[in-house]
Amino acid sequence: MQEFLKKPGFMVQSGTLGADLSYLLAVVFTVLFLVAWWMAKKGQGTRHHKLIFVSAVSMVVYFVAYYYARSLGVLALEGKEGFGGPPEVYTSVFLPVLYTHLTLVTLGLIMVPYMILEGFRACDKVNGDYVLKPGELKADPKKFTRIWLWILGVWVVVEVLCLLAGKSWQAQLAYFLIIMTIAGVVGLEKLIEKWLPDGAQRHRIVGRGTMVLFALILCTSTATYLMLYVIYPLKAATG
């Protein structure tokens, strides 16, 4: 698989198949999300929901498969050797753009499941169509406690399985951080509920923020791709 992804790309001369495929799919998913935003703006709640759902599921499947296949070894993370430009540009432009991109992608991966769940909670089905229902939308505090207890339970089970399987402490820490993030998102919902008690308004405001996040992800992935394969390809540096 690694070898397949390292084959020459189809978009620019210096790109690899992995990089071109990754960039192209990132563009497709982001554009699908932005189209879903446009549908919501036109009042097409059900089409908006369907498109978000399909693109979110395929995006997550793609992310997991792609990063697993490349073992997180995106050329960008392989260090300066993968970058053909001057070292100053690498440190002061490329790395900040790359880290911003990775932070935005992480935020996006948190916001998508949050927004999908919030979307279902904030909607009613009227004549078969999803419609945002105005009014206060607050989860029962007992429900929050139950969710946290479930998360704690899952973490205990995961850690016990890790111990039994003899996994490294780094793997255990990674699982701990993932589960802490999920617990954090549940906590965040409590804060957002206070700030925006109206469920429909919450969906619109936080949803717009999420869509802007996707537009920024598109900008930063384009900048990373351009710097790596168009402006400063490796060949240019090595002659």
| Both tokens assigned to 32 | 């699908």
Residue nearest to ligand HEM (CB): 119
Smaller CB separation from ligand HEM, 85 or 207: 207
- Provide DSSP, 186-232: HHHHHHHHHH--BHHHHHHHHHHHHHHHHHHHHHHHHHHHIIIIIIS
Q: Which residue number, 22 or 210, has a Cβ lying nearer to ligand HEM?
A: 210
Where do contacts with ligand HEM occur on this chain (CB under 6 A)? Answer: 37, 40-41, 43, 45, 48-49, 52, 56, 112, 115-116, 119-120, 123, 130-132, 203-204, 207-208, 210-211
**Is the distance from CB of 44 to CB of 31 less than 8 angstroms?**
no
Neighbours of 56 (CB within 10 A): 20
CB of 121 to ligand HEM, least distance (A): 9
Closer CB to ligand HEM, 39 or 75, in the complex: 39
Least CB distance to ligand HEM at residue 173 (A): 29
Instruction: Give me the residues paired with residue 58 across strands.
Output: none
Gap between the Cα atoms of 53 and 32, Å rounded:
10
Whichever of 75 and 115 has its CB closer to ligand HEM, that residue is 115
Least separation in angstroms between residue 63's CB and ligand HEM is 14
